[in-house]
Structure 1
Amino acid sequence: MLPTDLLGDWVLRRTVDDRLAGVSGTVTGTTTLTLVAPDEVRWDESGTMRLGDLVTPVSRTLSVRRVDERWTVHFADGRVFHPWAWGTVVEHPCAPDDYTGVLAGDTERWTVLWEAHGPAKDYQLDSVLERRSGTAD
């Protein structure tokens, strides 16, 4: 699956399990993938995080860029996050912790699972994205 196969608006539901802090919670909101150039997709997320007693708005922007027929996910500041690989584990070393993730699914429902392990972090983020229909929720 390519990022261009997932263009459009998505309902985002994420569970958060922060084992180090001993709290769990959710993020609910939207994700939009937009073609901004033939070789670049903008990935915008926004929503509300509920983590323990904390309720706060959250957002992030990523970009997915193709170079030499390979797609790579980048942070908003341009740093490489991970290769775009569908259905297989990707890694993002970020000392002192290590992150592993998997993107999977189809053009109507896909998932993003991230695990972070190390001395500073121990959590799991499990995101489910379902295509937003043309009708009101």
Structure 2
Amino acid sequence: MYHTWMRFFTPSPLHHRLGLVCLGVGLQHGALPTVGPRTLDHHVAVIVNSGTGWFKGPDGRRTPVTGPSLIWLTPGTPHHYGADPGTGWDESFVDFTGPATTTYTELGYIEPDRPLVPLADTAAPRAAVGRIVRAARRGNPLLE
């Protein structure tokens, strides 16, 4: 069994001119369904707060995932991942796109060659996702 909350957006061309737009945000926990294999046209940051599972990148190797970890999903890169079917994991995610992602990558904040990043703590990423979740609630004027 698993629990999920997610919200996806279709930002206007005007929003895209800002350079970075949020396409979706979600919170999930439990024995989640496997994701993929798939290839996306945008970025996703998946924060595994706790639990275990696995990740496969374009090389096809199955790599163990133990929370806390960050999984970077980058455009055009095949991937496949899943939580342990018995114990699951707790995750949050943000889908995003825009030309600013190139700059964030050049600065080293997004590492396409290092899709699985162990984290010491998820407090800061969880707080950031929490702010996006609050802004994503229906009726919030920030969505307009």
| Structure in which a larger fraction of residues adopt helix | 2
Between 1 and 2, higher relative CO (CA 8 Å, sep ≥ 6) is seen in 2
TM-score calculated relative to the size of structure 1 = 0.32
